[in-house]
Amino acid sequence: MSVNIFGQEATEEKAESARLSSFVGALAVGDLVKSTLGPKGMNKILQSASTGDINVTNDGATILKSIQLDNAAAKILVNISKVQDDEVGDGTTTVCVLASELLREAEKLVMAKIHPQTIVEGYRIASTAALQALEESALDHSSDTSMFREDLFNIARTTLSSKVLSQDKDYFANLAVDAVLRLQGSTDLDHIQIIKKVGGKLTDSYLDEGFILDKQIGVNCPKRLENAKILIANTSMDTDKIKIFGARVKVDSTGKLAELERAEREKMKDKVKAIASHGINCFINRQLIYNYPESLLAEHGIMTIEHADFEGVERLSLVTGGEIASTFDHPDKVKLGRCELIEEIMIGEDKLVKFSGVAAGQACTVVLRGSTTQMVDEAERSLHDALSVLSQTVKETRVTLGGGCSEMLMSCAVEEAARRVAGKKAIAVEAFARALRQIPMILADNAGYDSSDLVSRLRVAHYEGQRDAGLDMTKGTIASMRKLGVTESYKLKRQVVISASEATEMILRVDTILRATPRRLAADTTAARSIVKMKSDEDKTKAIGPHLVMAYSGEPGDTVYFAEYIERNLRLHQIRYLHELRPASAASWIRRALADSLRSRSPYAVNLLVGGFDNSSTAIEEGKEELGGAPKLYWIDYLGTLAEVPFAAHGYGSYFALSLLDRYHDPNATLEEGLATLKRCIDEVAKRLIVGNYNYKVKIVDKDGVREVSL
């Protein structure tokens, strides 16, 4: 007898259906990005649906981070691409394409009635043989300085050959090598600042020894300062109000107002004296420095730089050796930053601040120029990939050959291993070898050459002992990659094979996909002040993300302003970082914004509910019974208190609704049962309140996004 243990909206896919869904999603992701692979790969235009902003890129990680996916296997491929980007900095497209090709071969074997576990075991044998062949072919020239620098230069050229900087790859390869060698073996790229300035051409870019901050020196301050002692701070330099929580100051004359202003100025004077007591001659603040404190600091002979954003002060702290201070009562406990020279420089038509002779002598700045914003942004991504790969190569100094040489070498080794394997596993091992050969095949296809002919000739060359043979993408022939200088990082290639094979194994083991029941939120549509109804059609819910919705109650003006502020900033985050905040992160950030307003002159009187569907890889891993993700609900009050809850309510109606929800709430309820519970709560509110006749909006958030339903 078949028993359904799931709610009506919880879905389940089993066996072949689940496996087919996984294969289709993964193959679609691989097909999406494979046209960008190699030196002749094509670009993609990424256009924001909300703002219309565009990015032109062929970077695999950037493309995959910008698309919304509803397939679990596809998200796994996106995640391994992100890991590749974090670990090595390049190879994001290759790892995704290789994983999809391994799954394509596995799909054929599954259709031929070979069990997934047999395929997994064969793939494990094949990946071991491939990694062993890759390690045996790796070269290490770290003992020879000139040859190692040439290896780094060739790696940078190979990395940049598929980027927007390919026309000037020699110039930027030298620039990247010089920057990384300054790190003296460190992999901390925070010491390398990248400044983007639109104007000029790409080859106007240059490497500057020192740290450049994209800010301006304050008014009435010297534009040059030697032997700088720097206090880096994150503190409010606005006129300090005398704040008492929950109180308001009422004045009945201009004299009282002037007295209050004098008290505020005296507080600011004391604060500036405390700052000056550190014995500094330069004060850099993450927040604004207003006119009055700026003039006081100038009187003490202190140079000021304001509004150095979070990244700016963090990097300054790192390169100058100082600590970020927020209080100034104990000068002896604050570590100051130091540098030999601070000066104002011009790049194009913009003024910037340069720090020379910093404590971290390896710090440097790359100034990127270009004709358009899109060009400069893509140049930054390209250069960052090269810097990341080079910094890892300095640590793991072995190198391998590119141009499809390493993949063909591993493919031949895997085919040799298949001859020593008995049974159906040998078929899986051979399938792994065919998937590896797809990488040079795609390289040739993207360049417009006859891929079948080229790859077959390359395979023959390797079996004849030409272990450095690869594809010359300029001439469309087989050539020695060692002579052409087509070199790649050993760590990069190794990580590609490991990540792709592990992701493939994970997807092959899937036999069921479970998707959770969505959360439901409801809010009435009345805006009121005291007993006066201001509006009867206000939507007190707002979709603040593709899988996030916020409901609010409180003062009508506060609720609208705060909700719009949250919506704009979360949209800005999604545009800037190309991904949606998880519900937990969004709720935490909203709580922080509300708490910060309590310390301002005009706190928001707003109570909130934040509902969302967390479809991140972490949620999938944690939610064993909710494999497709997890619904989340957070309760936030006007004091900035945050709690994750199974159900919640705000407003006068919450006094009656919560007891009903406590009694009738069921996390596995169907949509109809959930709506019936909400209807029960609404009827109870209408019965209890003297003034009634409210309209309500009900919204659902699940894996498909946010949508409205009717009661």
Q: How far apart are the first and last CA of the chain?
A: 35
Secondary element (H or E) of residue 399:
strand 398-401
CA 632 to chain centre: 21
> How many angstroms separate the Cα of 651 from the Cα of each of 266, 522, 551, 635, 648?
42, 12, 11, 12, 11
Q: Which residues contact 485 (CB under 8 A, 6 or more apart)?
A: 150, 153, 154, 157, 158
What tokens were used for 409?
Answer: 């070498």
Report DSSP state, residue 199: B
37 and 58 Cβ atoms separated by less than 8 Å: no
Secondary element (H or E) of residue 672:
helix 671-688
206 and 193 Cβ atoms separated by less than 8 Å: no
63 and 44 Cβ atoms separated by less than 8 Å: yes
Taken in order 240, 242, 244, 248, is the CA torsion positive or negative?
negative
Amino acid code (one letter) for 70:
D
710 and 700 Cβ atoms separated by less than 8 Å: no
567 and 593 Cβ atoms separated by less than 8 Å: no
Taken in order 390, 392, 397, 402, is the CA torsion positive or negative?
negative
Question: Could you tell me how many residues make up the chain?
Answer: 711
Q: Which residues contact 212 (CB under 8 A, 6 or more apart)?
A: 193, 195, 345, 352, 353, 354, 355, 365, 367
Q: Which of 555, 538, 647 is nearest to 607 (CA)?
A: 555
C-alpha R_g of the chain: 30
636 and 587 Cβ atoms separated by less than 8 Å: yes
Instruction: Quote the CA–CA distance of 138 and 133 in Å, as a whole number.
Output: 9
197 and 288 Cβ atoms separated by less than 8 Å: no
The residues assigned a catalytic role are 59, 92-93, 385
What tokens were used for 178?
Answer: 């010089």
